[in-house]
Amino acid sequence: MDLVRQKAQQRAASTGGIIIETRAHFGFTAALVTTDDGRIRLISQHLPPQFAARPFDAQAAGATEQQLQNIAAEGLQEIYFKNRGRRADGLLVEFSDIDYVELDYS
């Protein structure tokens, strides 16, 4: 990995976070309700540093694409859908049929 990218990843994982933009199908499971009626959403969301480090570390450790997809789903679940724990307690997000995913350093 080149030095510029390495520094950008370190900064994202320690202070800046990342921005994830995706267009994919999102379905949901919650304590009382499960829905197969998910829908395609276009989401652009800043993920804080604690979520930025996970995909970088997993990729460096040889994670599969499915594992990286699960990490992205967890970050979006906690920040976008659950608003950092302020709503939708117990919600689990299914992230599938991905049209695209882009990660940018913030």
pLDDT of residue 12: 86
- Residue pair 51/78 in contact by the 8 Å Cβ criterion: yes
- What span, in angstroms and rounded, lies between the C-alpha atoms of 84 and 69? 19
Cα of 90 vs its chain's centroid, Å: 17
Indicate the number of domains in the chain. 1
pTM: 0.80
Q: Which domain holds residue 94?
A: 3-105
| Cα distance between residue 50 and residue 11, in whole Å | 11
Question: Tens digit of pLDDT per residue, the chain (106 long)?
Answer: 688 888 888 888 889 999 999 999 888 777 666 555 678 999 999 999 988 889 889 989 999 999 998 898 899 999 998 888 777 777 888 888 899 989 888 7
Residue 55's identity, in one-letter code, is P
- DSSP characters for 34-87? EEEEEEEEEEEEEE-HHHHHHHHHHHHTT--HHHHHHHHHHHHIIIIISTTTTS
pLDDT in the model for residue 37? 67
